[in-house]
Amino acid sequence: MHFESVTFDLDGTLLDTVADLAEACRLMLDEVGAPPRSQAEVHSFVGKGMAVLVERCLTHEHPPTDEQLHAAIESFKRHYSTVNGKFCQIYEGVLDGLDAWKASGLKMGVVTNKPGMFTEQLLDRMGLADYFDVVVSGDTTAHKKPHPEPILHACRLFNVRPDRNLHIGDSENDILSARAAGSPTFCVPYGYNEGKPVDSADCDALVSDLLVAYRQALTFQDLKHK
């Protein structure tokens, strides 16, 4: 195989976490006295990390004040820590795909914008932690995706050149981060991407699930640098 390592986004790629997030948002909004949000709205707000998710939940005609946002973030942290993994589902094809990647001997990692206090907790609760050699969360580095630093940091930990790392995600944030890092990127179509469909023209392959991604990677030769 051309690749020496593979990194995966978490929310929307490995796990369907929107029900957990929606429940934590519901509890948070009720606690701070803000109007409720539907699960569909929360689905469209996911992608740029916890603080942006909370801010989007609070924003109607005007954004929240710094004080309101801080209080809401602290509330969300408390509630999400309790529900994290409670309603979450592993996407179809993920376990078969991870087993195939693991058997290949490639180094494997998670690169997510989710804060570290929730990332490892969720991987443990869902029984996925042992698949990964490296976990890079939204507060591991100074920047989140779409900045390249999270993927570059994973590659440094792997001791693998970025162009030998394949990143698999569900969103424009993943594509932009991987492109800037110099890593090829595959995308799944079933995730969040802030409520927009992923454009297959922007990634190196649009794959239906992680097992298909593994099979596609076996024949992947020419890297497209856009």
Angle, CA of 150, 148 and 155, to the nearest 5°? 55
Q: How many CB atoms lie within 10 A of CB 177?
A: 28
Sign of the alpha-carbon dihedral angle for 134, 4, 88, 51: positive
The single residue of 9, 16, 20, 204 carrying the catalytic annotation is: 9
Among 166, 124, 174, 146, which Cα is nearest to 11's?
174
H or E segment and range at residue 36? none
Bridge partners of residue 109, in order along the sequence: 7, 134
Let me know if 9 is a catalytic residue: yes
Beta carbons within 8 Å of 61's beta carbon, 6+ residues apart: none
Residues 6+ positions from 51 with CB-CB distance below 8 Å: 69, 73
* Strand partners of residue 136: 111
Residues 183 and 66 sit within 8 Å (Cβ to Cβ): no
What totals of helices (H) and strands (E) does the chain contain, helices first? 9, 8
Active-site residue list = 9
